[in-house]
């Protein structure tokens, strides 16, 4: 007979609820960790249950909640409240307890169960709902949040920017530029989606090593081209951009975990994050092209030596990153 899969979060909830109250009360004294259950119900109503008997009661539940939430008549074993609009990824619960921390087990209206531990600071325990994969506040909030996150990730991700710089040094001709950047975009969008959706997760350490190696390879090809030694990479650079773009997509994936994602928000979050990445990438390319046009117009004699210097600098930085990231493979 086939074994039935058991949801570990639901099993934890069942064990917590079925365990004798005396044992739970003793446990919070020993571990310094309280346990809280948060249930999302219909019409933006919520139920908050404290499992441990010796946890101090919340005499004013509204101080724990976001300002827009209002308490309802409590039951014997739980607090009830309503929020308009519903709790979302930007909200935080603030428990006035001096415990070591709190374990919160949440059950959202879409059927998802998420649990996490939140450490205390001696006076309060802060519970960001992003770590419990709460839903987005609205489509506009989701769009703005992930557009900004995507743009920030490319503009402050120096290794990704250096790869784009290497492509620009390698390329000559408008259509080659369009094809190559498009190939890079398609590739990193594919692997970003695979990683975030859990279809093909990859450990971070080898990806970081491969990203550094991709820049080293690109810098080498740029230098060879400047010496007149042309290869397939120079005639069809979009092939290289696509292959290495796959690695960079896995590198982008870590950023989407920073704010937490409910399952229903993942497709739109991916879309807006990619749009943010592309917006930042286009802004960076336009800035480089403008700088290049300035030097061609006013300091044309310096352009070849500057490009050689950029290529060698690109390779040197990337090689340093490659050697620096190698130990992480062994440690992992």
pLDDT at 11: 41
Q: Which of 117, 119, 95 is nearest to 106 (CA)?
A: 117
pLDDT digits (tens, 9 = 90+) for 135-160: 776 777 778 888 888 888 888 888 88
Helices H / strands E in the chain, number of each: 10, 8
Q: How many CB atoms lie within 10 A of CB 140?
A: 9
pLDDT at 89: 82
pLDDT at 127: 94
pLDDT digits (tens, 9 = 90+) for 252-306: 876 665 556 666 777 888 888 889 988 998 899 899 889 988 988 888 888 888 8
pLDDT at 1: 44
DSSP class of residue 208 equals: H
Chain Cα centroid distance, residue 288 = 27
22 against 315, higher pLDDT: 315
Measured CA to CA, the distance from residue 46 to residue 83 in angstroms comes to 8
Q: Which of 289, 303, 187 is nearest to 246 (CA)?
A: 187
Measured CA to CA, the distance from residue 281 to residue 180 in angstroms comes to 13
Tokens of 41: 């119900």
32 against 191, higher pLDDT: 191
Q: Minimum mean pLDDT among 3-12, 111-120, 208-217: which range?
A: 3-12
Mean pLDDT across 311-325: 94
Compute φ and ψ for 94, nearest 5 degrees. Answer: -125, 105
pLDDT at 38: 95
pLDDT at 134: 79
pLDDT value at 12 more than 50: no
pLDDT value at 8 more than 70: no
pLDDT at 252: 80
Question: What is the reported pTM?
Answer: 0.67
DSSP class of residue 89 equals: T
pLDDT at 258: 54
Q: Could you tell me the residue ranges of all domains in the chain?
A: 8-132, 139-331
pLDDT at 314: 93
Measured CA to CA, the distance from residue 245 to residue 199 in angstroms comes to 18
Is residue 160 reached through a cis peptide bond, with omega within 30 degrees of 0 on the bond before it? no
How far CA 28 is from CA of 99, 147, 186, 324, in Å, comes to: 9, 42, 51, 44
């Amino acid at each position: 007979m086939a074994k039935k899969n058991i949801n570990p979060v639901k099993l934890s909830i069942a064990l917590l609820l079925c365990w004798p109250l005396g044992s739970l009360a003793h446990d919070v004294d020993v571990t310094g960790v309280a346990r809280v259950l948060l249930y999302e119900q219909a019409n933006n109503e919520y139920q908050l249950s404290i499992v441990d008997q010796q946890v101090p009661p919340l005499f004013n539940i509204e101080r724990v909640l976001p300002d827009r939430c209002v308490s309802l008549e409590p039951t014997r074993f739980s607090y009830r409240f309503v929020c308009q609009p519903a709790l979302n990824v930007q909200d935080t619960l603030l428990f006035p307890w001096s415990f070591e921390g709190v374990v919160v087990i949440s059950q959202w209206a879409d059927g998802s169960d998420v649990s996490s531990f939140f450490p205390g600071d001696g006076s309060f325990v802060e519970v960001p709902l992003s770590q419990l994969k709460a839903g987005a506040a609205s489509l506009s909030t989701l769009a703005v949040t992930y557009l900004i996150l995507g743009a920030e990730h490319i503009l402050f991700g120096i290794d990704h920017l250096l790869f784009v710089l290497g492509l620009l040094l390698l390329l000559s001709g408008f259509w080659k530029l369009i094809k190559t950047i498009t190939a890079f975009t398609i590739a990193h969008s594919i692997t970003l989606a695979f990683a975030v959706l859990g279809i093909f997760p990859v450990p971070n350490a080898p990806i970081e090593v491969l990203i550094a190696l991709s820049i080293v390879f690109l810098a080498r090809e740029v230098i060879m081209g400047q010496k007149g030694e042309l290869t397939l990479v120079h005639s069809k650079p979009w092939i290289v951009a696509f292959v290495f773009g796959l690695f960079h997509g896995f590198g982008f994936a870590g950023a989407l975990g920073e704010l937490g994602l409910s399952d229903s928000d993942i497709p739109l979050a991916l879309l807006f994050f990619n749009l943010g990445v592309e917006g930042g990438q286009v802004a960076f390319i336009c800035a480089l092209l403008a700088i290049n046009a300035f030097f061609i117009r006013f300091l044309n004699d310096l352009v070849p030596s500057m490009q050689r210097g950029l290529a060698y600098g690109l390779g040197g930085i990337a090689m340093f990153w490659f050697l620096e990231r190698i130990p992480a493979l062994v440690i992992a």
